[in-house]
Amino acid sequence: MAISGRDDRHGTGPVTGNHLIAVQTVLHQGYLAEIFTGLRAGGLTIFHVLLDGREEALRGRIEASGEAGQWRLDHLASYRAARSWLRRDADLVVDTTEITPAQAARRIARSLPRLDLDTCDRT
């Protein structure tokens, strides 16, 4: 999710003038709503991005990464169950099945409101 906001307590406008990207997988719709409600109550605007992909591609990446592999594999069923509402509720869904991380990042950057693309790494 991308988050930007204003410091409304002092009316000073954007806190940093930049976007904050918080990477998190939330598979419980009520918990995600609670997080977003709190952020919005703090004056933040949320742009929710879902990185999605075919399950066989996700499974292959998890197995190849070696990072918390079994835990992540064990949660694929939970992701599968949450996938429909995640896709419906996201502001942007990026299918990462056949694109590189850099291509996914560029798609997200192009979709963010008022992001200055000249400041993005173009690798």
How is residue 86 written in tokens? 């995640």
Please write the tens of the pLDDT for every residue from 62-89.
Answer: 999 988 889 999 999 999 999 999 999 9
C-beta neighbour count of 36 within 10 angstroms: 17
Q: Which pLDDT belongs to residue 11?
A: 43
Q: Which pLDDT belongs to residue 24?
A: 84
Predicted TM-score of the model (pTM): 0.74
How is residue 76 written in tokens? 């694929």
Please write the tens of the pLDDT for every residue from 2-55.
Answer: 454 444 444 444 445 556 677 888 999 999 999 999 988 988 888 899 999 999
**Residue ranges of the domains in the chain?**
2-119
